[in-house]
A = this chain, B = another copy of it.
């Protein structure tokens, strides 16, 4: 019975834990195997070829751990690698861009949507493609915000410097009349309070912030239900966290994001999956 198998979740680092958190909340019986590629973080500035190769290696690793489904909890990998991965692997793969685009298309009232993300995600235009596919009348404006990830990692979450950086990036949407803004990088929900305030300042009231994690977890639930793969367990599962580097640092950050305490993280030598 595949339903007792774990759910594989991966990200370039710690950001995907915002997706893991949402899965734990919506699917509390599912056991998660998380992989954070902390040795090669960030993905946002890297090419399609490199991000695809890294994703391939990690999905191989997760499959070797016996997962029943893979959640790509990284917008850059979702935008650049997921199509190729779905061709190469025989396991269901859920990404975050599709669900994020779906939520945005439903949320907008005036048809004008903003997307913020890494260089790789924005340059790929994947949010635009998904949203146009859902409704070709919608307008999508993208803006890369490369300093947000290092600012989160520096811990300057609600800070005057981060505020000024956000003001500069988000002013790019002035005059575009967006009423929905997709947080198109899994690190960004950690900045949501600051982003909400800056959006109000530079774009006015009435802009909805969209965190793709919520819809991603909902898609996962549908997929597991549809394939009769829900664990149905009522015990609190023991999740496992693998990283490719700096397990200690990862654990500290993980404990500040997740609703449960991460007791142990396992350092996986990169060689084992290359």
Q: Which residue of B lies closest to A271 (CB)?
A: B53
Determine whether A196 belongs to the interface, using a CB cutoff of 8 Å to chain B. no
Q: A123 to nearest B CB, angstroms?
A: 11
Determine whether A168 belongs to the interface, using a CB cutoff of 8 Å to chain B. yes
Instruction: From B40, B151, B271, give the contact of A39 (CB < 8 A).
Output: B40
Determine whether A25 belongs to the interface, using a CB cutoff of 8 Å to chain B. no
Q: A169 to nearest B CB, angstroms?
A: 10
**How often does this chain occur in the complex, in copies?**
2
A168 to B162, CA, bound (A): 13
Q: A15 to nearest B CB, angstroms?
A: 14
Determine whether A135 belongs to the interface, using a CB cutoff of 8 Å to chain B. no
Cβ–Cβ contact B160 & A164, under 8 A = yes
**Interface with B: A44-52, A70-78, A203-211, A222-230, which one?**
A44-52
Determine whether A153 belongs to the interface, using a CB cutoff of 8 Å to chain B. yes
Give chain B residues whose Cβ lies under 8 Å from the Cβ of A151: 147
Interface string of A254-274 (1 = CB under 8 A from B): 000000000000000011001
Determine whether A165 belongs to the interface, using a CB cutoff of 8 Å to chain B. yes
Chain A interface category by residue count: 20 to 34
- The B-contacting residues of A in range 110-162, CB under 8 angstroms, are 146-147, 150-151, 153-154, 160-161
Give chain B residues whose Cβ lies under 8 Å from the Cβ of A164: 160-161, 164
Determine whether A26 belongs to the interface, using a CB cutoff of 8 Å to chain B. no
Give chain B residues whose Cβ lies under 8 Å from the Cβ of A154: 146-147
A38 to B47, CA, bound (A): 10
Where the two chains meet, the residues of A that have a C-beta atom closer than 8 Å to any C-beta of B are: 38-41, 45-47, 49-50, 53, 146-147, 150-151, 153-154, 160-161, 164-165, 168, 244-246, 270-271, 274
What are 21 A-B pairs at a CB distance below 8 A?
A: A38-B46, A39-B46, A39-B47, A39-B50, A45-B246, A46-B245, A47-B245, A47-B246, A53-B270, A53-B271, A146-B150, A146-B153, A146-B154, A147-B150, A147-B151, A150-B150, A161-B161, A161-B164, A161-B168, A164-B164, A274-B274
Top-3 shortest CB links A-B: A150-B150, A50-B245, A39-B50
